[in-house]
């Protein structure tokens, strides 16, 4: 059976250093900042990104070029390996569709997974793919598993500001103004395909309670079978909000003592670009045992 190489992109939150340790490959996501191209974790750090964003630079997301992706695949295929490529959710970017089209020229040796995930949930998919590869599964079998379980995760995100939703055209100026005056802090959700509104609250404490209740409900309903089987994990993600994220982790461990809180990671910069700093997120994700 062919050796399997796992590829993802930096929307997984997996750094280049972590990728090297894991034996996987991470395609850096490109950004345009004041017209200049940068690549996440290559010549753009988290700190630098937020300095640009909070300095009101013109920041926009892009996707890896076809040449970048296919050159990596070509190199990985040289030793007879097959490739499993796990990009960010197709509902949040065209990156996945582009990769799927490129893979048509590789006669099945590159399997592109439409995993419908991002951030720590995508990271978990990569780790699951590694386990499956180590178990001797083929690239096609790994793809089949990841796509069949793609909706076995939830993400809830509390925003600190409406500024960046307004800036990105996802909120009208009038709505942003009203929201700011009323001190509204929206809680958003990602359930696979897209970023949607979930709740409106007025404080971080309320936002945390809403997110905890949402996770509790998911565990009791959608994920009950997996929870009973010990197949669920909880993680925290954030946008330049490290201390609050660590505090939230401790709170979640107290509320859900029987479920491991696995990661406290920065949210993908592709998401951060649209929601700004100060956001806090919690995820519940099924794991491969």
So where are the chain's domains? 4-28+64-148, 30-63, 153-286
pLDDT of residue 275: 87
pTM value? 0.90
Which stretches of 93-203 are assigned E, i.e. beta strand?
110-112, 153-158, 185-190, 195-201
Classify domain 4-28+64-148 at the CATH superfamily level.
Answer: Dihydroxyacetone kinase; domain 1 (3.40.50.10440)
The reply to whether 153-286 shares the fold of 4-28+64-148 is: no
Backbone phi, psi, residue 5, to 5° = -110, 130
CATH 3.30.1180.10 is right for the domain spanning 153-286? yes
Confidence class of residue 1 from pLDDT cuts 50, 70 and 90? very low
Tokens of 190: 């990602």
pLDDT of residue 128: 97
Please say if the pLDDT value at position 112 is more than 70.
Answer: yes
Please say if the pLDDT value at position 178 is more than 60.
Answer: no
| Count of other CB atoms within 10 angstroms of residue 253 | 13
């Amino acid at each position: 059976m062919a050796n399997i190489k796992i590829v993802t992109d930096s929307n997984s939150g997996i750094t280049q250093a972590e990728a090297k340790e894991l034996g996987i490959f991470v395609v850096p996501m490109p950004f345009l900042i004041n017209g200049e191209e940068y690549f996440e974790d290559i010549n753009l750090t988290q700190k630098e990104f937020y300095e640009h964003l909070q300095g009101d630079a013109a920041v926009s997301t892009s996707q890896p070029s076809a040449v970048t992706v296919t050159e990596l695949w070509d190199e990985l295929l040289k030793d007879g390996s097959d490739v499993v490529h796990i990009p960010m959710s197709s509902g949040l970017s065209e990156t996945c569709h582009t990769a799927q089209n490129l893979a048509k020229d590789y006669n099945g040796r590159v399997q592109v997974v439409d995993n419908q995930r991002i951030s720590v949930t995508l990271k978990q998919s990569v780790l699951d793919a590694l386990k499956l590869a180590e178990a001797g599964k083929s690239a096609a079998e790994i793809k089949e598993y990841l796509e069949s379980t793609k909706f076995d995760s939830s993400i809830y995100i509390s925003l600190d500001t409406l500024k960046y939703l307004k800036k990105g055209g996802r909120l009208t100026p009038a709505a942003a103004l009203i929201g700011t005056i009323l001190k509204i802090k929206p809680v958003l959700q990602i359930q696979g395909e897209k970023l949607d509104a979930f709740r409106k609250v007025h404080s971080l404490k309320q936002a945390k309670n809403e997110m905890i209740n949402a996770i509790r409900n998911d565990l009791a309903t959608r994920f009950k079978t997996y929870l009973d089987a010990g197949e669920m994990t909880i993680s925290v993600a954030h946008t330049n909000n490290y201390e609050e994220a660590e505090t939230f982790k401790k709170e979640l461990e107290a509320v859900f003592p029987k479920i491991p809180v696995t990661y406290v990671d920065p949210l993908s910069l592709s998401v951060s670009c649209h929601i700004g700093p100060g956001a806090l997120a919690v995820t519940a994700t099924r794991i491969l045992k």
